[in-house]
Structure 1
Amino acid sequence: MHDNHVGELVDLLELERLEDNLFRGQSRDIGTKFVFGGQVLGQALSAAQRTVPDDRVAHSLHAYFLRAGDIDAPIVYSVERTRDGGSFSARRVVAIQHGQPILNGSISFQVPETGYEHQMSMPEVPAPEDVEAMPALSLEQLSRLPEKTQRWLGKDGPFEFRHVWPRDELRPAKRPPYQHIWFRLTAPIEDTLALHQALLAYASDFHLIGTATLPHGISYLTRNMQMASLDHALWFHRPFRIDEWLLYSFDSPTSQGGRGLARGMIYSRDGQLVASTAQEGLIRVRPG
């Protein structure tokens, strides 16, 4: 049974088909200044999924964020059926708003098969039940933030996050560039791998580039901070459920030139590596 927030998000990823390869999606205002990048990733994957044979499953997604998305306008997704081979299908997706591309993406699908297997072990961290949920900001703390940010921080979303090493985003301390966060959808959903993958694409944008701010004692709430995702890569390794606890383990190898690089590995609770991510983002403090 979906709760309202989860149902809204599932509906957001179920795009309207305008033509064989053309889809339209709406935007959800979650309190960010522009359309949340994860929303565009999830919808782009959902559009591509609708154009491949049923026996093929997404295994990699690579995208560039080109322009900030307008929350008040729909997004049109144009899918190019680049190739359908014996085992793999390739799709190119362009997300368009106001006549201009806001995201270019390439997505590859494969007929599931067996092969050699190995993986890196899941980090040893406390179970999600042993990690406290982040306390909500007080009304006094919220009142000092911009109205959009108040909405972002002051409402329940469709995902629950539990930070193994929480930090105060209003007064961030300097610390090494890695973190671990348990997360899951707050209500159960149907057992369709394509939907779980689209929802993971959505969630994979949370906290990723923020990992590159950890050594510098800054956060997205720092005054005059400009942060934006520049590109995003996501690889699906094994089946999973996003309505069960997943561990997102992040690190950031480098920041330089106004950009930070962050990587993530996503594990199921039983230690299976189910997906990997990488992202470069803009991290810039504007003068004044």
Structure 2
Amino acid sequence: MSTLIKPPPVDVEKSRIENVLELTQLTPIDPDLYTNTRPLWHPPGARGIYGGAVIAQCLAAAQKTVPPDFYIHSMHCYFVLAGNSNIPIIYHVEHVREGRSFCTRTVQARQNAKPIFTTTMSFAREGSGGKNVVKHEQNMPTDIAEMGPPPDDHQGDETGGGEQSPFVSQRLRILNKESNPHEKKVRQWIKARGKISPKGGHEAHLSALAYMSDSYFIGTIARVHNLWRFAPGRERKQPPSIDEETLRKLLAADEETIEKVKNMPGVNAKVLESLQKPREKRPEVGMMVSLDHTIYFHRPRDFMADDWILAEMESPWAGDGRGLVLQKMYTKDGKLIATCVQEGVVRLRPDSESKL
């Protein structure tokens, strides 16, 4: 059983991500208790449910408890245990502080009476900063424009969830690919699938942004170190959706080449076979899970999550079995709307050839 109460029919007037993140308020028990209305996604090969779903539902629950003129400006999260997609999640919102300019909420997500995730959020009253404010922001990287416009609405689908995914993404080539890991930048365009309805208000766009902020986040470290996530010949925990021979050839091909051709019509085993070439031995990821996740919302009322957003990620440090990733998120016209930070466990398989 993946939900506490039988899910209602999908609301066709809402976008897919609104339906995915819908909450049920358990008012008869406690008005500050919520639960997931629909089953949550367990990505293939992951230890538990997609972390962005829990981040977003905690935010959605907290937003229901603050006055309408307050908006989220920061949330600090800790992943405690892997979430089980077969068990309902209970979200408990604690009212920590009610101030004139700021209010604070803590939300704990629990399964089997154990906390799996906890977050503290701060909300600011709109306009509380006054008329004269200190302002500056980092511009969107200029080389993004040189790559051409964002994808059109029918391009991009690298989320792993296929047509059922509530968002779509399109990865770009790595900047400074031949440099040291801490100098590389990983980019992707991302947006909610379809159109977010007026029903959810702007809170729905904020929850959607929180959901998408966890996409490929800690995986940045694997990309800047050119690590295997699943080495050729290594058995996967879940059965692949393509035949084993095609999977093996995909894994052995160059990452950027795959990104260019894998969605082209007519790509088959023969095409993939031509991509194979002798490779150097590379270390393989043994364990990669998120420990914490922070989001600073800079323009909480000034973006649409169903329009293309650029996410740029970089890793300033990795060591001692952990890694740190920074992420900046921009609207397609260059406004910096959020900055995110994530630390995670990054361990190599014991039989790997080299170290991070």
Q: Deviation at 1:159?
A: 1.6
Structure 1 residue ranges without an equivalent (≥5): 137-151, 168-173
**Match of 1:160, as an amino acid?**
V
TM-score (norm 2): 0.69
Distance 2:212 2:88 in 1: 20
Runs of 4+ in structure 1 over 4 Å off = 132-136
1:53-64 equivalence runs, <5 A: 53-64=67-78
Q: Is the CA contact (8 Å cut-off) linking 1:177 and 1:253 kept in structure 2?
A: no
Deviation at 1:226, TM superposition (A): 1.3
The alpha carbon displacement at 1:62 in A equals: 0.3
2:219 is equivalent to residue 184 of structure 1: no
Q: Which residue of 2 aligns with 1:200?
A: 209
Q: Select the residue among 297, 300, 306 that pairs with 1:236.
A: 297
Specify whether residues 135 and 186 from structure 1 end up closer, same or farther in structure 2 by C-alpha distance, changes over 3 A only. closer
Deviations 1:142-171 (A, max 9, x none): xxxxxxxxxx7372322221222179xxxx
**Mapping of residues 1-288 of structure 1, within 5 Å:** 7-18=15-26, 19-25=30-36, 26-32=38-44, 33=46, 34-113=48-127, 115-124=133-142, 125=144, 126=147, 127-129=149-151, 153=160, 155-156=162-163, 157-165=165-173, 176-191=183-198, 192-222=201-231, 225-238=286-299, 239-287=302-350
Q: Is contact 1:181–1:247 with CA below 8 Å preserved after alignment? A: yes
SS of aligned partner of 1:129: coil
Cα drift, residue 21 of structure 1: 0.8
Comparing 105-114 and 210-219, the one that deviates more: 210-219
* Partner SS state of residue 94, structure 1: strand
Please tell me whether the aligned partners of residues 247 and 267 of structure 1 are also in contact (alpha carbons under 8 angstroms).
yes
8 A contact 2:16–2:194 mirrored in 1: no
Bigger Rg, structure 1 or 2: 2
User: C-alpha distance in 2, partners of 1:44/1:15?
Assistant: 10
Give the counterpart letter for 2:190 in structure 1: F
Q: Name the structure 2 match of 1:170.
A: none
Partner of 1:209: helix, strand, or coil? coil
Distance 1:96 1:13 in 2: 16
User: Which residues of structure 2 form unaligned runs of 5+?
Assistant: 1-9, 232-283, 352-356
Cα distance change on mapping 1:27 and 1:202 into 2, 3 Å = same
Q: Could you tell me whether the CA contact under 8 Å between 1:220 and 1:227 is conserved in 2?
A: no
Contact 2:196 2:306 in 1 (8 A): yes
- Report percent identity of matched pairs: 34
Query: Which residue type is aligned with residue 338 of structure 2?
Result: A
The answer to whether the 8 A contact 1:177-1:211 is kept is no
- Shift in Å, 1:9: 2.8
Conservation of the 8 A alpha-carbon contact between 1:27 and 1:35 = no
Please state how far the C-alpha of 1:119 moved relative to its aligned partner: 0.2
After TM superposition, give the deviation of residue 179 of structure 1 in Å.
Answer: 1.1
| Total equivalences in the alignment | 265
Which residue of 2 is the match for residue 148 of structure 1?
none
Q: Which has the higher strand share?
A: 1
Change (3 A) 1:133 1:284: farther
SS at match of 1:47: helix
